[in-house]
Amino acid sequence: MLAAALALLLTLPGTAATAPADPSPEIPARGSAHMGMGVVAHDGQGGRPPSDRAAQTEGVDVSSHQRAVDWPALWDSDVRFSYNKATEGTSYRNPYYTQQYDGAHGVGMIRGAYHFATPDDSSGARQADYFVDGGGGWSRDGRTLPGVLDIEWNPYGARCYGKSRTQMVDWIRDFLTTYRARTGREALIYTATSWWKECTGDYPGFGATNPLWIARYNTTVGELPAGWDVQTIWPYTSTGPIVGDHDRFNGSLERVVALADG
């Protein structure tokens, strides 16, 4: 009798069972961020650029997302430089750092390290120190590129990390100033034009000192942030061979060496 009553109740107007609400998007685990992980979602992804690589040098960027990397295969495919994630915030170090950083060096590549910034949890100076101490330093050996500040969409919350545009610019300056004091080099800035406009107000003040690594998966680099007339590195695809994330250095291999030498 009870079962029949329940069945009747579910057939009455306004009493039909309600489907559960769609679950909220999952927030990734801290430390799992990597270069360009928000590019496709925010800026989309177009086709690949023309195959002509005149005056450009092929490279890759990697993180724990790629795990152990097949460096000999990348070298054989004409990849000549690499950047790998060393740190994030002040609590994460890439467990694959040694295999990736030393592996690239072992096959003859020029390599460097990058830091994924999380401005909502500590100062720029503190994160720069953590980066240098965690593998993001520099040496004048002709094979080590200066470090990179990866500043882009927040995968864990508010896109601009809860900071005003002025606060964000101050945070970036704090990081860059500390990195220069620790290493003697200007760090590169990895960012996307749309994020830079939204979160810094298209601040132009770093273009004269810090090389630009512009994030855009498309056939051209597109519009650059204010202050930069040209990009130094361009990640043109996230679906390239072997590791997916492939880059083009805006110059010959000799120019890559020149950046490494300072």
* Active site positions, annotated: 61, 150, 152
Tokens found for residue 80: 């000549």
Tokens found for residue 111: 């390599």
Which residue from 122, 112, 107, 23 is spatially nearest to 61, judged by alpha carbons?
A: 112
Tokens found for residue 204: 């132009």
Facing residues of 55 across strands? none
Tell me the C-alpha distance between 71 and 244, whole Å: 13
DSSP state letters, 71-91: HHHHHHTT--EEEEEEEETTT
Tell me the C-alpha distance between 39 and 46, whole Å: 11
What's at 195, amino acid-wise?
W
